[in-house]
Amino acid sequence: MQNLIVIFILLPLLGFLVSLIIPAKQEKAISYVAFFTTGSVAIWIVIFTIWWIINGAETLNIREIVLYKSDNYTFLLDLFFDKVTAVYLLFSSALAYLIAVYSRHYLHREKGYKRFFNTKLLFVTGINIIVLSGNFETLFIGWEILGVSSFLLIAFYRERYLPVRNALKVYSIYRIADIGILLAMWLSHHLWHENITFVQLNDTAYVNHYLHEHYLTGLFISFAIILAAAAKSAQFPFSSWLSRAMEGPTPSSAIFYGSVAVHIGVFLLLRTYPFWSVLPLVKWNVIGMGLTSAIIGSVSARVQTSVKAQIAYSSIAQIGLIFIEVALGLHWIALIHLTGNAFLRAYQLLISPSIVTYLIREQFFNYKPVKKSKDRTWRRLIKNSIFVIGLKEWKLDGMMYKFLWAPLKKTGQLFHFITGTQAIVISALVFLSSAIIIQQEVNLPHVIAYAIPEVFGGIALIMVLKAFTERKRTFFAWGLVILSHFWIAIAVGFNDTFSAEDTIFYLSGVVLSGGSGYYFLYRLRQRAVFDLNDFYGHSMEHKWLSFGFLLSCLALAGFPITTTFLGEDLLFTHIHEDQVLLAFFVSVNFIVEGIALMRMYARIFLGPNKKDYHPVPLRDA
């Protein structure tokens, strides 16, 4: 029966595919597919968990599918089931079903009714892949699905300015979490020289043996995992994105940012606990992060003017406490706390529209102005100062922009002199000469051979940063992203273990998605005007071009629908352990590239459509 675990993934995936082909006007059919899918998953999880407990509740590990295999690399889908998996699947499946039932009437006659249920089923698939993952590679598939579905649901009201803008903000933070996973995967390959599974991580003696000999490597992997967990669960310093994510419809806020998705960082810490728990510095870092987040969340929640923002910061505070419980080894308490917080926040968000309506009515009939206080004591001044700090959300949003996004933008703007012709000609010459050197095995001086991968990786990053900051030339920005992939492939190609077959496998997805993206942009250029300096909302009139370009962006960014996704992991396995700078350039490249691509999609196809015959909502609508 344990081999039937894969049903937890296949059922929501099948429901997602079926919902895609149902006409948008058939609301009842769309909702019934969601009911049946989420309900069946919930029932099957309950039955399987009871069977698992009766048979001793032993940890299960199922090696399912080898997606790609070469002489030095294997991408294996591995499934894993233990107490953490059981608890997370039970409460997430129950909430998925309940919110599907709620959403049927709440979103009745909404233009995006079908789109909501499509994305929700995709989200359930991603969550189940993450929770059932038995290694980092499998987890990363669900991790990417979760990020994209989050972006689509926050930008659900795509004709408005703020939902689209906030969706990009949240997706940018999610890409930071991706850096953590990518770097953890890269160094894990070098630490164990294999695709490490979570079953092996549970072997304390096995882990201690490697960490004793490679302490710094283990420390780096641990902090990469913490970075991913903190960004995904809105912990300090990434706390500000959660309130921005509430721009989506209430049901998506309930299941994503109140209950299931926001706790995925806790799940990651629980899953990798046997690895990082033996490092005291890492444990104290998790405790400090959780305590800081709890304080920030508690203060901010008490002074927010929006009910959704209050719930968001309350959830951040509780997740901070759960982080502390995980670090202290109180796993059952953490799981109970996690489940209780998820159900409570989902309930609060689902009833929030009714609460707001009641409070407005109550204030209208029973308003009593607050008397001004003449108390000028130091206690009052401190209280007022804390009030203002909480109201400003601790300036975390501005801090993220000042220390992270602004430097990236300024760096990209330094290369304003680059033109399309220059980029293509120089890239072609370098690619041709590099291919000859690699093919003929020309012996270069050691210093040059060692520096070339880092230099080429840096050039690839410059191209992506230029695409990220480009405001006018859409085709130029798209071409720079494609060229950056080729520069990375050549950079890693100078490492002796990266074969021509691996390069072709990786770049085949880049060529396919890049070519299709050019086609959709060209077709749109024949019908409409656009650049990257504003939001144009062309999805309103060009739905299929919007969908096709979105798929091209996802594929080029490494979403698991082309060989580019497997190629990214393949690249990291061939980056040597001492090539830290190259690993940094490649990981940042992939992250900024994903943000740049989704920014292109959002600015061209989302936002208000400014034509005279379309109503245009205000920017703060």
> Each residue of 154-211: pLDDT tens digit?
888 888 888 888 888 889 888 888 888 888 888 888 777 777 788 888 777 777 777 7
Query: Please, what's the largest Cα pairwise distance for the chain?
Result: 85
The percent of residues above 90 in pLDDT, for the chain, comes to 26
Helices 83-106 & 113-132 angle (0-180, nearest 10): 180
C-alpha dist (Å) from residue 2 to 51, 62, 178, 523: 10, 8, 30, 49
Q: Which residues of 89-113 are buried (b: 16+ CB within 10 A; e: fewer)?
A: bebbbbbbbbbbebbbeebeeeebb
- Per-residue pLDDT of 481-510, as tens digits, reads 999 999 888 888 877 666 777 788 888 889
Per-residue confidence band for 77, with pLDDT thresholds at 50, 70 and 90: confident
- Per-residue pLDDT of 145-166, as tens digits, reads 988 898 988 888 888 888 888 8
**Lowest pLDDT segment from 2-11, 92-101, 165-174, 476-485:** 2-11
Per-residue confidence band for 71, with pLDDT thresholds at 50, 70 and 90: low
Structure tokens at 45: 């999880």
Distance CA(454)–CA(575), nearest Å, equals 11
Cβ neighbors of 590 (< 8 A, separation 6 or more) are 178, 182, 557, 558, 568
Name, of 63-77, 487-501, 537-551, the range with top average pLDDT: 537-551
Find the mean pLDDT for residues 294-300: 90
Per-residue confidence band for 97, with pLDDT thresholds at 50, 70 and 90: very high
Find the mean pLDDT for residues 79-99: 91
Compute the mean pLDDT over every residue in the chain, rounded to the nearest whole number: 85
The percent of residues above 70 in pLDDT, for the chain, comes to 92
- Per-residue pLDDT of 569-617, as tens digits, reads 778 878 887 888 888 888 888 889 989 999 999 999 998 876 655 565 5
Side chain identity at residue 487, one-letter code: W
Per-residue confidence band for 621, with pLDDT thresholds at 50, 70 and 90: very low
Place of tokens 């050197």: 437
Find the mean pLDDT for residues 205-221: 81
Find the mean pLDDT for residues 77-94: 90
